Amino acid sequence: MEAKPVTVQHADDDGVVIRVDDVLRFFRRYAGMILGLSLAGAAIGVCLTYFIPKQWEATGILQVGQVANETTPASPISIEPAARALERVRTPQFTNNVLKLLGEPSGADGSAVSVLVRRSLKSTPLSDPGLIQFAVRGHSPEEARRAAQAVADELTRIHAGLMRPSLDKLDADLAEVEQGLITEGKRRDSLSELVKTRGQTGVAGKFSENVLLNEMLAENDKALRLLRLRKNALQELLTEARTFNTHLLAPVEVNGRNAYPRLAPFGAAGLAIGLLLSLLLGTAIEVKRRMQQL
């Protein structure tokens, strides 16, 4: 059965007929070259992975810190929304501070480490709204781990400053309550001593004085009880379970294999480039051959 021709129309309305037989004949004629160049491209791609400097990637998961408060003790407030923390990590200023922690230059003409950190640092949100994931690369596993730890340390430092006013207020309230307990405790001792002295001397006192003394004792007991309750509440708000700074959920992890270059992607890219070159070269040879036959 004769193959149906495929016609390609040009601007001058001349038709160039390309048959399936022509395509098959092309691949049979240049099969060796196509296969050879494709395999050569794949081999070159694989070989390049042994000469290009390797990069390792370190990842970490940060839990954004929170500060409890007396107004809504059951709902602590995040130091910073996770979305804003993500944007902060992506700013050039944040990266510059990370490079300073690593002892690397942060200018435009930075070191190889600076360039790699600046290009590779990325952060992504997780399903939990209080967690963010970040990744950064280095020229060795240890270098990548140090860079990732510096990222975590920098965000922790920034959030420590953001939460400081709230912590100072809680600490000041707790100190005030403790001072109040000391004051009310001394007042309790004075009232108890007064009651004891009156009993030892046999002074019955006036009825109104006794009533006033009992009321003062009752008020003192109430004040001490309220102060103790508030102290416990403030101490509960300051526990690590309720108030904490941003921190890594687990130690930074580094992939066992280098993240770049990888054999499979480079081999596939080399194979594709070799195949494309072989097709272009075969087409050029075929066109030249047909022109010579005219």
* For helices 82-89 and 141-201, angle between their N-to-C axes, nearest 10 degrees: 140
> What is the tens place of the pLDDT at every residue in 200-245?
555 555 666 777 888 899 999 999 999 999 999 999 999 999 999 9
- How many domains does the structure of the chain reveal? 2
Residue 100 lies in a domain: yes
* Same domain for 276 and 229: no
- How many angstroms separate the Cα of 266 from the Cα of each of 223, 261, 273? 75, 7, 10
Q: Who contacts 100 (Cβ-Cβ below 8 Å, separation ≥6)?
A: 106
Which residues form the domain of 154?
56-254
Residue 70 lies in a domain: yes
Question: What CATH number is associated with residue 181?
Answer: 3.30.70.1130
* Same domain for 109 and 93: yes
> What is the tens place of the pLDDT at every residue in 73-121?
778 899 999 999 999 999 999 999 999 999 999 876 778 999 999 999 9
The three-class DSSP label of residue 208 is helix
Residue 131 lies in a domain: yes
* Same domain for 185 and 41: no
What are the tokens at 136?
């950064």
- How many angstroms separate the Cα of 90 from the Cα of each of 118, 148, 217, 226? 10, 14, 61, 47
Residue 1 lies in a domain: no
* Same domain for 145 and 128: yes
pTM for the full predicted model:
0.76
Backbone angles phi, psi at 63, to 5 degrees: -100, 120
What are the tokens at 240?
């690590």
